[in-house]
Amino acid sequence: MSANDIARDVRAGDRSARDVLDEHLARIDEREAEIHAFNLVMADEARARAADIDARVARGEDPGPLAGVPIALKDNFCTRGIPTTCSSKILEGWRPPYDATVVERLEAAGAVVVGKTNLDEFAMGSSTENSAFGPTRNPHDTSRVPGGSSGGSAAAVAAGFAAMSFGSDTGGSIRQPAALCGVVGVKPTYGLVSRYGLVAFASSLDQIGPFTSTVADAATSLDVIAGHDPRDTTSIPVAPPDHTKALDDGIDGLRIGVVTEFLQAEGLAPDVAARVREAADALDRAGAKVEETSVPSTIYGLSAYYLIAPAEASSNLARYDGVRYGLRVDAPTTAEMNARTRTAGFGAEVKRRIMLGTYALSAGYYDAYYGKAQRVRTLILRDFERAYESFDLLLGPTAPATAFAFGAKADPLAMYLNDVFTIPSNLAGHPAVSVPFGRGDDGLPVGVQVLAPALAEATMLRAAAALEAAAG
To 10 degrees, the CA torsion angle through 88, 345, 45, 185?
A: -10
Q: Shortest CA distance to 452 belongs to which of 361, 384, 386?
A: 384
| Contact indicator for 160, 27 with CB cutoff of 8 Å | yes
Residue 319 CB contacts under 8 Å (≥ 6 apart), including other chains = none
Distance CA(56)–CA(61), nearest Å, equals 5
Backbone angles phi and psi of 211, in degrees to 5: -115, 130
Quick one: 202 or 273, whose CB is closer to another protein? 202
Kindly state the smallest distance separating residue 324's Cβ from another protein, in Å.
Answer: 6
Distance CA(210)–CA(219), nearest Å, equals 9
Quick one: 255 or 372, whose CB is closer to another protein? 372
User: What does the radius of gyration of the chain's CA atoms come to, in whole angstroms?
Assistant: 21
Kindly state the smallest distance separating residue 286's Cβ from another protein, in Å.
Answer: 30
Distance CA(74)–CA(161), nearest Å, equals 13
Quick one: 151 or 322, whose CB is closer to another protein? 322
Q: Shortest CA distance to 118 belongs to which of 32, 178, 39?
A: 39
Quick one: 384 or 391, whose CB is closer to another protein? 384
Kindly state the smallest distance separating residue 402's Cβ from another protein, in Å.
Answer: 24
Kindly state the smallest distance separating residue 150's Cβ from another protein, in Å.
Answer: 20
Quick one: 356 or 394, whose CB is closer to another protein? 356
Distance CA(294)–CA(257), nearest Å, equals 8
Kindly state the smallest distance separating residue 102's Cβ from another protein, in Å.
Answer: 18
| Contact indicator for 177, 128 with CB cutoff of 8 Å | yes
User: Looking at the annotation, which residues are catalytic?
Assistant: 74, 149, 173
**DSSP H helical segments within 134-184, as ranges?**
151-158, 175-181
DSSP lists the bridge partners of residue 117 as 38, 74
Quick one: 246 or 379, whose CB is closer to another protein? 379
Q: Please state whether the peptide bond connecting residue 131 to the residue before it is cis, i.e. omega within 30 degrees of 0.
A: no
Q: Shortest CA distance to 264 belongs to which of 397, 147, 453?
A: 397
Q: Shortest CA distance to 277 belongs to which of 445, 404, 402, 437?
A: 437
Q: Shortest CA distance to 384 belongs to which of 312, 310, 468, 296?
A: 296
Residue 288 CB contacts under 8 Å (≥ 6 apart), including other chains = 251, 252, 253, 254, 255, 256, 463, 466
Kindly state the smallest distance separating residue 358's Cβ from another protein, in Å.
Answer: 5
Quick one: 277 or 375, whose CB is closer to another protein? 375
What's the longest Cα–Cα distance across the chain? 70
Strands (E), 246-338: 255-259, 289-293
CB burial class (10 A; 0-12, 13-18, 19+) of residue 378?
exposed
Kindly state the smallest distance separating residue 417's Cβ from another protein, in Å.
Answer: 9
Quick one: 11 or 377, whose CB is closer to another protein? 377
Kindly state the smallest distance separating residue 333's Cβ from another protein, in Å.
Answer: 6
To 10 degrees, the CA torsion angle through 380, 383, 389, 391?
A: -80
Quick one: 161 or 201, whose CB is closer to another protein? 201
Strands (E), 145-263: 164-168, 184-187, 208-212, 255-259
Kindly state the smallest distance separating residue 241's Cβ from another protein, in Å.
Answer: 18
